[in-house]
Amino acid sequence: DTAVSQTPKYLVTQMGNDKSIKCEQNLGHDTMYWYKQDSKKFLKIMFSYNNKELIINETVPNRFSPKSPDKAHLNLHINSLELGDSAVYFCASRLTGGTNYGYTFGSGTRLTVV
């Protein structure tokens, strides 16, 4: 199936732990994003990679480190998890220079820090 897929779908972990979320797209897109949706449903961009190069890095604690091994994958590693990191994290992708309606979102990873 063509899509943006994220794993895991749910993640429950204790404060202080380190965890990773993975994202993969098979749409042939060259730009990938991480968005965070908080408990009030606000959606905010965190990072963007274009062809493995970091191009957007919003004000995010440096405990969050994205990595893009190739243009089809974008992972998010979070160190020393805090309660405030609990949120839904969405991965998205698009094709630069394509018709700009091409932002495709994954189904989200619900992270709960206890």
Q: Using CB under 8 A, list all residues that contact another protein.
A: 31, 33, 35, 41-45, 48, 50, 55-56, 90, 92, 94, 96, 100-101, 103-108
- The residue with tokens 């191009």 is 55
Q: Between residues 17 and 107, which has the closer beta carbon with respect to another protein?
A: 107
Between CA 113 and CA 48 the distance in angstroms is: 24
Quote the least distance from Cβ 87 to another protein, whole Å: 14
Residues in the chain: 114
Radius of gyration for the alpha carbons in the chain, expressed in angstroms and rounded: 13
- The residue with tokens 């990191």 is 85
Q: Give strand ranges (E) for 26-72.
A: 31-37, 43-50, 53-57, 64-70
Q: Between residues 47 and 78, which has the closer beta carbon with respect to another protein?
A: 47
Quote the least distance from Cβ 58 to another protein, whole Å: 9
Quote the least distance from Cβ 80 to another protein, whole Å: 27
Q: Between residues 2 and 14, which has the closer beta carbon with respect to another protein?
A: 2
